[in-house]
């Protein structure tokens, strides 16, 4: 469940394929006489575009795919994963919605990889290799305007369950600030399953439990990219607010310490719409033991005209599929997002190419199915019923989404780019 384990299921599948040798016809042609693609000329650019960002040293994937020497032992397994569209990871049903961050590989690129491997996986001329892409190191959002860190280190034990930990940090902001980008970074990624950053106005009462999305600024979890606002929009941190780090630790077998941080970049544009986060969610379910397809529903009703900018379903290890459906005031319904194969190891934000306009009175319904049977290889214990809970072996049913209010007046002022307080 930790970041380094996000590719565990892939590693187990690929390990059996390591070292497999492919014979290559010296003529560079396959059985039909067609020229076989080479790694250097045709395949490396495809991997650079679709795979190398994760498959490189220090990143989430379990092996590096930067060079021919690194790729060659995995050729057969790569063919299987690419042909089945298991990689690159993308779980949205293509028949519902168009997504700005769609990771799917084109059929032409898939066909090229398959032809290369079926033809013996030749290297070709190393001089044909494109330059290695310049990947972002450090902050993916660029250098933050301000960084906040947990006030103290937390010692994560070698074993056992660790309850969620909460750390409050004052922003010391003297004025309202508008956040255009946010990135949380773990101090020790080997034990940090996720970080959720909340904004808390000290002058307001704590939000009720049913308002689970209230105050959510952003998060770090497996497969998730940092929050970056669209021009004209931003998230608001009111003057005097605190940031709350919600930390989910998973012991790694070795005691260690963590002191995670969050970086913020402020809007450099006039803020016309303030982005808010909410969710259609449920915490009152019980999944029976051995249930293969248990259904849980939740709903959220828009009391104003809104625009949805992102959708992010969240379940745990028994999560099977997830659907967002809009039921409009005139009775018409539409599937906004369908995730037929939910994967706990890749908790993806889905960003529509255009914001989804939702009129007042629309019901956002979310439908989740769970597999608590022996057919689910990730299931910790199919013999027991499962209820809502924070730990990974428990379950959640949260249909998060970011939205703006259509008739909202533009913010009175755009935040300046300089710092006005903070931890460093």
pLDDT in tens, 36-59: 999 999 999 999 999 998 898 877
What mean pLDDT comes out for the span 327-348?
Answer: 94
Q: Is the separation of the CB atoms in 186 and 258 below 8 Å? A: yes
Predicted confidence (pLDDT) at residue 334 exceeds the cutoff of 50: yes
Predicted confidence (pLDDT) at residue 400 exceeds the cutoff of 90: yes
Pick from 191-205, 283-297, 338-352: least confident: 191-205
First to last CA, the chain: 31
> Which residue do the tokens 């057919």 mark?
375
Question: What DSSP state is assigned to residue 157?
Answer: P
Domain that holds residue 104: 3-88+99-128
Same domain, 306 and 389: yes
Same domain, 213 and 260: yes
Predicted pLDDT of residue 296: 98
Predicted confidence (pLDDT) at residue 417 exceeds the cutoff of 70: no
Cα-Cα-Cα-Cα dihedral of 262, 268, 270, 275, to 10°? -20
What mean pLDDT comes out for the span 67-71?
Answer: 96
Structure tokens at 382: 């199919």
Q: Please identify, among 219, 249, 271, the residue that sits at the C-terminal boundary of a domain.
A: 271
C-alpha of 73 from chain center: 28
Residue 377 within a domain: yes
Residue 311 within a domain: yes
Same domain, 72 and 174: no
The CA distance from 86 to 83, in Å, is: 8
Same domain, 32 and 61: yes
What mean pLDDT comes out for the span 162-175?
Answer: 94
Q: 5 or 123: whose pLDDT is higher?
A: 123
Predicted confidence (pLDDT) at residue 78 exceeds the cutoff of 50: yes
In three-state form (DSSP H/G/I as H, E/B as E, the rest C), the secondary structure along 22-73 is CCCCCCCECCCCCECCCHHHHHHHHHHHHCCCCCCCCCCCCCCCCCHHHHHH
How many domains does the chain divide into?
3
Same domain, 118 and 212: no
Q: 388 or 203: whose pLDDT is higher?
A: 388
Same domain, 206 and 114: no
Predicted confidence (pLDDT) at residue 9 exceeds the cutoff of 80: no
Predicted confidence (pLDDT) at residue 357 exceeds the cutoff of 90: yes
Predicted pLDDT of residue 220: 85
Predicted pLDDT of residue 213: 54
Average pLDDT, the chain: 86
One DSSP character per residue, 355-423 reads -EEE-TT-EEEEEEEE--STT-TT-S-TTS-EEB-SSTTSB--EEEEEEEETTPPPPSSPPPSS--S--
Q: Please identify, among 79, 107, 128, the residue that sits at the C-terminal boundary of a domain.
A: 128
Residue 93 within a domain: no
Structure tokens at 119: 């033809």
- Rg over alpha carbons for the chain, rounded to the nearest Å, is 23
Same domain, 67 and 160: no
Question: Which 3 state secondary structure label does DSSP give 125?
Answer: coil
Q: 225 or 403: whose pLDDT is higher?
A: 403
Residue 9 within a domain: yes
Confidence at 152, pLDDT banded by 50, 70, 90: very high
Looking at residue 360, which CATH number applies to its domain? Answer: 2.60.120.230
Q: Is the separation of the CB atoms in 297 and 187 below 8 Å? A: no
CA atoms within 13 A on the CB side of 376: 27
Query: Of 61-65, 247-251, 416-420, where does the model show the most confidence?
Result: 247-251
% of residues, the chain, pLDDT over 90: 68
Question: Which 3 state secondary structure label does DSSP give 76?
Answer: helix
Same domain, 207 and 307: no
What mean pLDDT comes out for the span 403-416?
Answer: 67
Using alpha carbons, list the distances in angstroms from residue 349 to 90, 99, 207, 295: 10, 10, 24, 22
Q: Is the dihedral of CA 246, 252, 257, 258 positive or negative?
A: negative
Residue 417 within a domain: no
Question: Which 3 state secondary structure label does DSSP give 12?
Answer: helix
Q: Is the separation of the CB atoms in 318 and 395 below 8 Å? A: yes
Same domain, 206 and 251: yes
Residue 298 within a domain: yes
What mean pLDDT comes out for the span 332-359?
Answer: 93
Same domain, 212 and 312: no
Residue 94 within a domain: no
Q: Please identify, among 233, 255, 271, the residue that sits at the C-terminal boundary of a domain.
A: 271
Predicted pLDDT of residue 30: 55
Same domain, 334 and 408: yes
Structure tokens at 327: 């039921």
Residue 110, H or E segment: helix 107-118
The CA distance from 268 to 85, in Å, is: 39
pLDDT in tens, 87-110: 998 899 989 999 998 889 999 999
Predicted pLDDT of residue 19: 37
Same domain, 111 and 162: no
Pick from 8-22, 223-237, 288-302: least confident: 8-22
Looking at residue 253, which CATH number applies to its domain? Answer: 2.60.120
Predicted confidence (pLDDT) at residue 64 exceeds the cutoff of 70: yes
Residue 113 within a domain: yes
Predicted confidence (pLDDT) at residue 15 exceeds the cutoff of 50: no
The CA distance from 131 to 408, in Å, is: 47
């Amino acid at each position: 469940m930790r970041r380094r384990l996000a590719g565990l299921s892939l590693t187990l599948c690929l390990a059996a394929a390591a070292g497999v040798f492919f014979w290559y016809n010296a003529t560079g042609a396959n059985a039909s006489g067609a020229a076989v693609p080479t790694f250097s000329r045709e395949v490396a650019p495809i991997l650079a575009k679709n795979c190398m960002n994760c498959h490189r040293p220090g990143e989430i994937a379990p092996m590096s795919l930067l060079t021919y020497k690194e790729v060659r032992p995995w050729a057969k397994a790569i063919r299987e994963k690419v042909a089945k569209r298991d990689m690159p990871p993308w779980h949205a049903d293509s028949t519902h919605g168009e997504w700005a961050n769609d990771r799917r590989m084109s059929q032409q690129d898939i066909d090229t990889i398959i032809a290369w491997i079926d033809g013996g996986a030749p290297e070709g001329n190393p001089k044909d290799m494109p330059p290695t892409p310049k990947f972002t190191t450090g902050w993916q959002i660029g250098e933050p305007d301000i960084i906040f860190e947990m006030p103290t280190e937390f010692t994560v034990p070698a074993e056992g369950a660790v309850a969620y930990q909460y750390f409050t940090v004052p922003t010391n902001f003297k004025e309202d600030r508008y956040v255009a980008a946010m990135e949380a970074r773990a101090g020790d990624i080997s034990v940090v399953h996720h970080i959720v950053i909340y904004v808390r106005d000290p002058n307001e009462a704590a939000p009720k439990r049913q308002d689970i999305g209230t105050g959510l600024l952003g998060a770090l979890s497996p497969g998730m990219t940092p929050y970056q606002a669209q021009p004209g929009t931003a998230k608001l941190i009111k003057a005097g607010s605190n940031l709350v780090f919600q930390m989910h630790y998973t012991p790694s077998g070795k005691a260690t310490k963590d002191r995670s941080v969050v970086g913020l970049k402020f809007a450099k544009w006039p803020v016309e719409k303030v982005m808010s986060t909410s969710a259609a969610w449920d915490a009152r379910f019980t999944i029976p033991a051995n249930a293969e397809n248990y259904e849980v529903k939740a709903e959220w009703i828009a009391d104003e005209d809104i625009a949805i900018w992102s959708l992010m379903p969240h379940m745990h290890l028994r999560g099977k599929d997830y659907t967002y459906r809009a039921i409009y005031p005139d009775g018409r319904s539409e599937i906004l997002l369908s995730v037929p194969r939910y994967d706990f190891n890749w908790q993806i934000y889905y960003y529509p190419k255009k914001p989804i306009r939702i009129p007042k009175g629309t019901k956002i319904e979310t439908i989740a199915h769970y597999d608590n049977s022996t057919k689910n290889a990730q299931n910790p214990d199919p013999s027991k019923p499962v209820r809502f809970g924070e730990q990974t072996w428990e379950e959640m049913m949260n249909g998060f989404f970011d939205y703006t209010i259509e008739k909202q007046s533009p913010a009175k002022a755009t935040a300046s780019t300089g710092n006005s307080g903070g931890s460093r």
